[in-house]
């Protein structure tokens, strides 16, 4: 299966100064992709994004936020939220990031590019309707989901495996049963933004359509995969999504300093393999991954390549596992999984 990588060198122009969310993240990643076996075998094509229209942004964000980002950029930039920078080019680049995610969804739904990886920045999953924050300007994955809804898709899965809880995305679809949001993240009591508790399950018609799996610090890929297998997969089997969007963040890698998770690049290929299986079963094969976090300049490119291999359904070569899961952590995870199943048992069967 061919994978479309959506990328533009214009993504480098969102200038954050000395900051972990640097242009090098995507620059190194596109370089790694172009050297990868899956690319050299002709299974990857790189396409340019388009700029999102203002009304596409306004499907998700307030006019006020859009104007705020635009005006701050016009003035030459500034700080829009703690650690969240707007530079002269940010407004344009943020439109291009949202447009990259939209382009992924459009291509996937019309069948031209069923599998896509939007290699975009700035990231998006912390951005709320009226607020940019947590390195995020506009919520790219949410804007892409809104596009899928507009195109008539009624069951959309957003799978978020970034180390941080995607609080912005959760809020935006909290009462919407058409968008199932599943997040596997480091427990909010130990990491920004502090949200993503197991009891936050959605509200009104959306009750039961928000799934939070907050892993304890030091959780390995083994634990994340087990949680995915036992909680996410059965729910996906019952929800039967017609498209799968992935908030693909790589800051849970053990080399990434920003979280305390202990994933390896194998973790990401394994998670994507499971998602691809679900997509082949229910979603006509449609999967669009959208880059979120991931700040280690070697681990992120490598893990992205692993994700793309899994998207292409190319047999993945696993590397020797570099992390060990302690018995006490396994027990903790077991209890957590049991508790989450309990909380969700009114809505889903396990």
Sites of contact with Zn ion (CB under 5 A): 162-164, 249, 251, 293
Bridge partners (DSSP) of residue 179 are 156
Buried b (16+ CB within 10 A) or exposed e, 301-314: bbbbbbbbbbbbbb
What is the token pair recorded at 94? 């943020």
Measure CA of the first residue to CA of the last residue in the chain; give whole Å. 31
Shortest Å distance, C-beta 251 to Zn ion: 4
CA angle 111, 117, 121 (to 5 degrees): 130
Shortest Å distance, C-beta 60 to Zn ion: 19
Task: Report the residue closest to Zn ion, judged by CB.
Answer: 293
Residues 154 and 243: their CA atoms lie apart, in Å, by: 9
Shortest Å distance, C-beta 165 to Zn ion: 9
CB nearer to Zn ion: pick between 162 and 187: 162
Catalytically annotated residue among 61, 125, 126, 185:
126
Residues 24 and 295: their CA atoms lie apart, in Å, by: 9
CB nearer to Zn ion: pick between 43 and 272: 272
Shortest Å distance, C-beta 285 to Zn ion: 27
Element (H, E) at 229: none
CB nearer to Zn ion: pick between 51 and 306: 306
Q: Do the Cβ atoms of 119 and 5 come closer than 8 Å?
A: yes
Q: Do the Cβ atoms of 186 and 214 come closer than 8 Å?
A: yes
What is the DSSP code (8-state) at residue 55?
H
Shortest Å distance, C-beta 249 to Zn ion: 4
Shortest Å distance, C-beta 119 to Zn ion: 16
Bridge partners (DSSP) of residue 133 are 136
CB nearer to Zn ion: pick between 241 and 293: 293
Measure Cα distances from 312 to 32, 76, 218, 327 in Å.
16, 41, 30, 35
Q: Does the active-site annotation cover 126?
A: yes
Residues 162 and 164: their CA atoms lie apart, in Å, by: 5
Angle between helices 24-35 and 299-311 (to 10 degrees): 50
CB nearer to Zn ion: pick between 100 and 134: 134
CB nearer to Zn ion: pick between 261 and 311: 261
Q: Which residues are catalytic?
A: 126
């Amino acid at each position: 299966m061919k994978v479309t990588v959506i990328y533009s060198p214009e993504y480098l122009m969102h200038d954050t100064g000395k900051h972990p969310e640097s242009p090098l993240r995507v620059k190194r990643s596109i370089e790694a992709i172009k050297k990868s076996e899956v690319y050299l075998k002709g299974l990857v094509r790189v396409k340019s994004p388009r700029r999102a229209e203002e009304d596409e942004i306004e499907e998700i964000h307030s006019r006020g936020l859009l104007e705020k980002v635009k005006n701050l950029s016009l003035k030459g930039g500034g700080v829009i939220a703690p650690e969240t920078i707007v530079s002269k080019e940010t407004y344009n680049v943020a439109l291009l990031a949202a447009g990259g995610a939209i382009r992924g969804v459009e291509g996937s739904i019309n069948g031209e590019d069923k599998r896509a990886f939007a290699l975009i920045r700035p990231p998006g999953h912390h951005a709320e309707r009226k607020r940019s924050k947590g390195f995020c300007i506009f919520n790219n994955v949410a804007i892409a989901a809104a596009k899928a809804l507009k195109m008539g898709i009624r069951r959309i899965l957003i799978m978020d495996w970034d180390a941080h809880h995607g609080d912005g995305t959760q809020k935006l679809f909290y009462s919407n049963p058409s968008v199932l949001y599943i997040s596997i993240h480091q427990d909010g009591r130990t990491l920004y933004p502090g949200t993503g508790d197991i009891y936050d399950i959605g509200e009104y018609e959306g009750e039961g359509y928000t799934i939070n799996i907050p892993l304890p610090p030091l959780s390995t890929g083994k634990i994340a995969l087990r949680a995915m297998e036992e909680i996410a997969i059965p729910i996906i089997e019952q929800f039967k999504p017609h498209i799968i969007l992935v908030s693909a963040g790589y800051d849970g890698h053990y080399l990434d300093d920003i979280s305390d998770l202990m994933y390896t690049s194998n973790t990401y290929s394994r998670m994507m393999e499971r998602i691809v299986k679900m997509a082949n079963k229910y979603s006509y094969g449609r999967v669009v991954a959208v880059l979120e976090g991931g700040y280690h300049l070697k681990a992120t490119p490598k893990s992205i390549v692993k994700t793309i291999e899994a998207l292409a359904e190319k047999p993945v070569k696993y590397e020797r596992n570099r992390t060990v899961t302690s018995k006490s952590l396994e027990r903790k995870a077991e209890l957590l999984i049991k508790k989450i199943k309990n909380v969700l048992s009114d809505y889903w069967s396990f």
